[in-house]
Structure 1
Amino acid sequence: MHQPLTGIKMVEVAQFTFTPAAGGVLTEWGAEVIKVEHAVRGDAQRGMVNHPRKGTFHPIMEHPNRGKRSIGLDLETAEGRAILDDLLRDADVFLTNFLPSARRRLHLEVEDIRKANADIIYVRGSAHGQRGEWAEKGGFDGSSFWCRMGAAWGVTPADSPRVLTMPGGAYGDSMGGMTIAGGIAAALYGRATTGEPSVVDVSLMSVGAWAFALDLSNADLTRGEREPVSINQMMASAPTNPTVGHFKTSDGRWINLTMIQGFRFFADLCRHLGLDELITDERFDTAEALMANAQAAGALISEAIAGRPFAYWREHLETLEGPWAPVQGPLEILDDPQMAANGYIRAFEDSEGVQRRLIANPVQFDEEPAPTRRGPQFAEHTDDLLREAGRSEEQILQLKIDGVVT
């Protein structure tokens, strides 16, 4: 199996999901990733109790930390810092999401890390970027990515009594981690071709702005002419394409149609819905007529879909030519044949030898899904990593007695 980052070593001083998820992606691309955790507490996310566990398997930790090795290290001690420097000497990448105040206190700034390795690529994940009044402040994807950068505004109907939250846990974090991974890959290529190591920055704000970029650009273009319109308002106020929208089934489920070229797919859709007579109906027999009478066509499409249950449409629409999708929940997604066919969910053994599954990172090389390995238990590889850093058994024991390592 081709893993293009085989031979790359990364040292990660980061916690939670945004930023560590990048390291998880890189392990599946072949890199060795060493996760440096607090010597006593470990990654703060290990203590989160509102997420399911089965034995040692904790999805919120396994997802961003797959394939890594973990060392528990007190970076506030001289000995701990010396060990970190030893780990850095032959590393290609240093990755952190610590706040600027913590980076300064622990001497994890660019100039500090490059004292140990002048050629290392230095990568920072942050909430709000490295400049401006908010650079010193932390944030999570629910705040900095979802709410501040427009996604919450875009999906929350104007008459909603509450702001709609992210549809899933670590939603923005996972996208952000993937973005960081791409930045690291580009920086590695840049160093290989120019000899210059980059400083790479990705923030939850920058990822959120990129995800919302089209709406932001549109708003900027029409600034002063009209107020920005959310996707909810747009769908409600400009129904010119009856083949785009969410349609309710007889049992209260939903089918999505996203046929941007509505007239191109209209006849085929009518045949699948048992509405053959609409194909030659003069209200809908040209693209212009269909747009002009979109409301009437949409009502007929809605009525047809409402006449059958979700399971019927899930099977019956398989041969539909235009883009569509069943609106699925987690269990249906896990059992979706396309997930298995493409290797989008991967099996592996957890630390207790139990078969588990995780969602694969979305990039594949040479038409083959990357292998997925479990995440490390807290400080699981401390002794091995200390030996690799040149510490003797006696030194390792003393470091544990002194509280420098876990």
Structure 2
Amino acid sequence: MLLKGLKVVEFATYIAAPGAAGILGDWGADVVKIERPGGDDMRHVFADAKSELGANPTFEMDNRGKRSVVLDISKPQGREAVARLAGEADIFLTNVRPAALARAGLDEASLRPANPRLIYALVTGYGLEGPDAHKPGFDVTAFWSRAGVARMTTPKGEDPFLLRTGFGDHITSLATTSAILAALYEREQTGRGRLVQTSLLATGVYTVGSDLAVQLRFGRLASNRSRREPLNPLANFFQSQDGRWFVTNPRGGSVDWAAMTKAAGRPDLQDDPRFASGRLRKENTAALTAEFDAAFAALPWTEITRRLDEADLVWAPVQTPAEVAADPQVEAAGALVEVEDGQGGSWPSPAAPALFPGVPQGPRPAPPALGAHTAQVLAEIGYSPQEIAAMVEAGAAA
């Protein structure tokens, strides 16, 4: 694997930072996950339904293939062990709030002298500077709401809605992985590591950056509209006779106008004076949407897909999660990876979104049981069996 030999110490919970460590692990890094007694909160996300489900896919996705070590940093021995692990790591990745890290002597300034080559990666809600830097943040607060994503996504006049689990977190995971790899490249040139920092807020701003750039440049931005009055009547969601939804996204200008009318079975719309130009089509967007709605609603799904493909239009079905899971193109694109179940079988899970032709994609080892590797990892950094036993007895390790 590409990152074989790279040592990552993850001291983090929830999704954004563990997701970044998970990507690095998928690409070959050795990831040691430090957990407090009781474990990462995401271990318990399906706790109420444990007897029913018997698995925790949300945790499993971001933590497959890692090694779990339980250390209690409220105790001196636990803090010392975390520092020793960081002292031998290439990357120390955390989303613990900076003030707590400083109190424990696990901030970048404290760890740097023992390991000048360390990449210290810190994921926060709101960054390290400013009046709200100290605040806790989740993706629904810092990424979705504070960064404007929720408002820009909600159609005008509608109430804001919550995002799905880990949406902003996983985008931040990608940003964090990119930052870490950039710092590793710099270290190759300088021989020294550095602090890298990402935040849910900054990732949210970048995610809606194309629109926000308009706001920043012109001081205003058009609101998102309902599908009945789209900004571009050709870029919209439509429904077939048999109830299947799909979306079209035409190329710029009037390139796809004629092809779209023919695919809908309404080439006569090209001669309709209401739609004679791109400007008029935007002015009469509600009327044109109604025409397309009626046209596509009269056609079966198989006929619509045939016409759209023959016209080489840019379109896609609106799929349910079950349909995504069964879509052969999802598998062909490398979007899924098999995870071992420890009993000779495996299950599919979302993959890190990059392929390296010639490098095997999987299968990946199962996520670790809580503290499954505490003794092994502590022994690797020089703790004797007696010292490990004493730490467990003192409650500093488990």
Q: Same fold (TM over 0.5)?
A: yes
Report the counterpart of residue 188 of structure 2 in structure 1: 192
Instruction: Specify the code of the residue in structure 2 equivalent to 1:59.
Output: P
Secondary structure of 1:263's partner?
coil
Q: Give the TM-score taking structure 1 as reference length.
A: 0.88
| Equivalences for residues 123-272 of structure 1 within 5 A | 123-160=121-158, 162-166=159-163, 168-223=164-219, 227-232=220-225, 239=231, 241-261=232-252, 263-272=254-263
How far apart, CA to CA, are the structure 1 residues paired with 2:259 and 2:332? 27
Q: CA deviation at 1:295?
A: 5.3
Matched, 1:45 2:42: yes
Match of 1:347 among 338, 347, 369: 338
Give the residue type in structure 2 aligned to 1:403.
G
Deviation at 1:272, TM superposition (A): 2.8
State the one-letter code of the partner of 2:355: Q
How far did 1:5 drift? 1.6
Match of 1:19 in 2: 17
**For 2:296, which of 305, 309, 312 is the aligned residue?**
305
**Aligned amino acid, residue 223 of structure 2:** S
Instruction: Quote the offset at 1:176 in angstroms.
Output: 0.6
The alpha-carbon distance between structure 1 residues 106 and 319, as it changes in their structure 2 partners (threshold 3 A), is farther
Contact 1:16 1:45 in 2 (8 A): yes
Unpaired runs of 5+ in structure 1? none
Deviation, structure 1 residue 105: 2.2
Shift of 1:126: 0.3
Does the 8 Å CA contact 1:263/1:290 hold for their aligned counterparts? no
Q: Secondary structure at the match of 2:197?
A: strand
Counterpart residue number, 2:315: 324
* 2: CA distance, partners of 1:249 / 1:4: 45
Alpha carbons 1:56, 1:351 under 8 Å: kept: no
Cα deviation for residue 311 of structure 1 reads 6.0
Structure 2 partner of 1:375: 367
Distance in 2 (CA, whole Å) between partners of 1:357 and 1:338 is 15
1:115 aligns with 2:113: yes
**What CA distance in whole angstroms lies between the structure 2 residues aligned with 1:82 and 1:198?**
21
Unaligned runs of 5+ in 2: none
Q: In structure 2, how many angstroms separate the alpha carbons of the residues matched to 1:169 and 1:113?
A: 33
Is the alpha carbon distance of 1:30 and 1:289 closer, same or farther for their aligned partners in structure 2, counting shifts above 3 Å?
Answer: same
Q: Percent of aligned pairs with the same residue?
A: 32
Q: TM-score, normalised by structure 2?
A: 0.90
Contact kept? 1:56, 1:352, Cα under 8 Å? no
Cα gap change, 1:236 to 1:221, in 2 (>3 Å): farther
Q: Does the aligned pair in 2 maintain the 1:35–1:70 contact within 8 Å?
A: yes
Q: Deviations over 1:153-198 (max 9, x none)?
A: 11223332x32111x2111001111110111011100111122312
Match of 1:63 in 2: 61
Is residue 2:383 matched to residue 1:387?
no
- Which of 343, 355, 373 lines up with 1:364 in the alignment? 355
Count, aligned residues: 396
